[in-house]
Amino acid sequence: MIITITWSGGRAIPTIKAEDLREIGFQIFKAAGVPEDEARLVSDFLVRANLDGHDSHGVIRIPPYVERVLEGKIKVGVKPEIIRETPNSAVIDGRWGFGQVVGVRAMGIAIEKAKENTVGIVTVFNCNHVGRLSDYTVMAAENDMVGVAMANCITRVAPYGGMERMLGTCPISFAFPVGEEIPFIFDMATSICAEGKIRVKLHEGKRLPYKCIVDKEGNLSDDPKDLYEGGAILPFGGEVGYKGFGLGLVVEILGGILSGTGCSCSEGFRGGNGLFLEAINIQSFMDINRFKSEIDDMIRRVRNSKPRPGFKRVMTPGEVEYINRMERLKKGIHIPEKTWEELVKTAEKFNLDIEGFIKH
């Protein structure tokens, strides 16, 4: 049952409950030959991105993921392999499994190591798109640990002062356990924005909110088309964009070089996401309850501080996502028409009628 019908350009756009959307993703992946546990995991992660308001990382990815499964670029049912290991570290060959499957396995190993030995660092190569890094750092936070994650990826970003694509959007995420407060989850691209956000504007036929790309001549632009016609995304930082650029290179080194993936501008770059995942056991440094009460206190003080003219209030990292999640869990997830059509088309390849999975 499609619960809410809104209108855009005179046509219906469905709003769907999270559990139904999860089932739709699961059934499509299963039909494409993905083992049930992997299908469930990947679908859950994509829907979580929609819930959090990051539609660019949500079910919009199902059609290209299915395509990659059918092409054999995403290998299903393979077991990631540890190729180098110490009590505090591991290097993992993801064997081109689903990025989410490999990422969860790798962060799980980091957490196990941190439980025993304070810190676990796991790097990963031969790994498909992992989605949002916060999906992995929250695993550490849920285990009363600090979670750190970085990922390099195909070049789309120009250096500060440059115009060629020399580095990936290279996200970084940190998550921390909290007491009673909204989870502190930080996840950012080191470019001004993720490529997915620009693609969304392209699909919507809209301009970008500010000049966050350069065209193929190196001129600043807010036209999303320019990115796909030989342009590049800028590193974040505004006047001090060398900071976002520097952080991006740090991610290329830790996620790319240290994992064996190679940095994205190198000839040896293996493709996909090169990962750096770390879990730090807080209990080795201080009482975990004291940590949680101090982070709660910090979050409250910052959130209650005075906004400046033009802003309604101060928000802490992870708060927008939390608010979206609460609302979308209740009201359902709004799926743009184009995304819905592509889901329907993908499902039809396997003779699936996805509207039949809408129960709520």
Residues of span 252-311 touching a copy of itself by CB under 8 A: 252-254, 257-260, 262-263, 265-266, 268, 280, 282, 284-286, 291, 294-295, 297-298, 301-302, 305-309, 311
d(CA 282, CA 141): 10
What track of x and - describes contact with a copy of itself for positions 38 through 77 (by CB under 8 A)?
----------------------------------------
DSSP for 53-108, please give it: T-GGGTGGGHHHHHHHHHHTSSPTTPPPEEEEEETTEEEEE-TT--HHHHHHHHHH
Cβ 350 to a copy of itself, closest distance in Å? 40
Of 280, 323, 301, the closest CA to residue 111 belongs to 280
| Nearest-5° Cα angle at 222, 237 to 173 | 40
Cβ 211 to a copy of itself, closest distance in Å? 9
Cβ 21 to a copy of itself, closest distance in Å? 27
Q: Which of 19, 44, 53, 118 binds a copy of itself (CB under 8 A)?
A: 118
Q: Which of 107, 130, 247, 358 binds a copy of itself (CB under 8 A)?
A: 247
Cβ 230 to a copy of itself, closest distance in Å? 12
d(CA 49, CA 69): 21
Residues of this chain, 70-109, that bind a copy of itself according to CB under 8 A? 84, 86-89, 91
What track of x and - describes contact with a copy of itself for positions 198 through 217 (by CB under 8 A)?
-----------xx-x-x--x
User: What letters, b where the CB count within 10 A reaches 16 and e where it falls short, cover 225-259?
Assistant: ebbeeebbbbbbbeeebeebbebbbebbbbbbbbb
Binding footprint of a copy of itself, residue count (CB under 8 A): 84
Residue 230 interacts with a copy of itself (CB under 8 A): yes or no: no
Residue 164 interacts with a copy of itself (CB under 8 A): yes or no: yes
d(CA 235, CA 56): 19
Nearer to a copy of itself, 36 or 85 (CB): 85
Of 231, 30, 42, the closest CA to residue 129 belongs to 42
Nearer to a copy of itself, 130 or 150 (CB): 150
Cβ 345 to a copy of itself, closest distance in Å? 34
Decide: 171 and 190 in contact? Cβ < 8 Å.
yes
